[in-house]
């Protein structure tokens, strides 16, 4: 039985869009809400998009070993998944979708090997990803290069994932994800 569906992908690959489509298609699939110390944006809701907490509280939880995975991004902000969220999901025999980076996926897989399925989402090519990032218009050329550099660092991890999905067609990728999830949900009750 797989309670934890963990999706990772290089930045700009479309994992957030895929996760949203997956939630729309499988409405009883819970979504893990990460904790973060970064400021809340005006378009975000605390408890829906993230649990926005002060850095001191995050660091206290770190010292208490309360996170299944976490990352400090650019030395500025923390992001992390609380073990309590995963333990509750497992004890209630539900299934939860987690959108985390590759190191977070490896941490969760290591902590909960029997309950986790990991999926690595890939762009069709680096050039395709570069074009997607440029069309988004949200990053400078320097920032795009940093994102591409990180992709080169993350790509070797893909072999450690249970499944790989190429996101060259959104609907096709969502169908592949649903197929993977449906194969892994036997005996799991959905919903909260």
Band of pLDDT at residue 37, cut at 50, 70 and 90: very high
> Whose structure tokens read 């909960």?
112
Domain that holds residue 48: 4-183
Per-residue pLDDT, 35:
97
* 112 within a domain of the structure (yes/no): yes
Residue 58 falls inside a structural domain: yes
Q: What is the pTM of this model?
A: 0.86
| 102 located within any domain | yes
Mark out the alpha helices in the chain (DSSP H runs): 15-25, 55-63, 83-91, 102-111, 126-136, 141-154, 170-183
How many domains are contained in the chain?
Answer: 1
Spatial distance between the Cα atoms of 111 and 19, rounded to a whole number of angstroms: 23
**147 vs 23, 31, 122, 144, 157, CA distance in Å?**
26, 25, 14, 5, 16
Mean pLDDT of 76-102: 94
Contact 67, 61 (CB under 8 A): yes
Pair type for strands 96-99 and 30-31:
parallel
Question: Is 141 part of a structural domain of the chain?
Answer: yes
The CATH number covering residue 60 comes to 3.40.50.300
In a domain, 192, yes or no: no
Q: Give the span between the Cα atoms of 180 and 2, in whole angstroms.
A: 11
In a domain, 176, yes or no: yes
| pLDDT for residue 190 is more than 50 | no
Pairwise CA distance, residues 40 & 8, whole Å: 23
Q: For residue 190, is it within any domain?
A: no
CB 53 within 8 A of CB 36: yes
Weakest mean pLDDT among 64-68, 108-112, 187-191? 187-191
* Residue 192 clears pLDDT 70, i.e. is over it: no
Question: Given its phi and psi angles, is residue 27 left (phi above 0), alpha (psi -120 to 50 degrees) or beta?
Answer: alpha
Write the pLDDT tens digit of every residue in 124-182. 888 888 888 888 777 788 888 887 887 888 888 899 999 999 999 999 999 999 999 88
Please answer whether residues 80 and 58 qualify as being in contact, where contact means their C-beta atoms are separated by less than 8 angstroms: yes
> Does any domain span residue 191?
no
Average pLDDT, the chain: 88
Mean pLDDT of 16-39: 91
Give me the pLDDT at residue 127, please. 84
């Amino acid at each position: 039985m797989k309670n934890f569906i963990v999706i990772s992908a290089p930045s700009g690959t479309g994992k957030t869009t895929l996760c949203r489509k997956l939630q729309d298609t499988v409405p009883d699939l819970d979504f893990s809400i990460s904790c973060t110390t970064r400021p809340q944006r005006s378009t975000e809701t605390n408890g829906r998009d993230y649990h926005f907490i002060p850095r001191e509280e995050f660091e206290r939880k770190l010292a208490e070993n309360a996170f299944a995975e976490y990352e400090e991004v650019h030395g500025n902000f923390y992001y992390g998944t609380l073990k309590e969220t995963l333990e509750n999901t497992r004890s209630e025999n539900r299934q939860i979708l987690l959108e985390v980076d590759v190191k977070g996926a490896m941490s969760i897989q290591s902590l909960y090997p029997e309950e986790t399925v990991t999926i690595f989402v890939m762009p069709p090519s680096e050039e395709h990803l570069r074009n997607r990032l440029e069309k988004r218009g949200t990053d400078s050329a320097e920032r795009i290069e940093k994102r591409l550099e990180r992709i080169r660092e993350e790509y070797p991890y893909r072999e450690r994932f249970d499944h790989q999905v190429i996101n060259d067609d959104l609907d096709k990728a969502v169908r592949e994800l649903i197929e993977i999830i449906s194969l892994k949900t036997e005996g799991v009750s959905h919903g909260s």
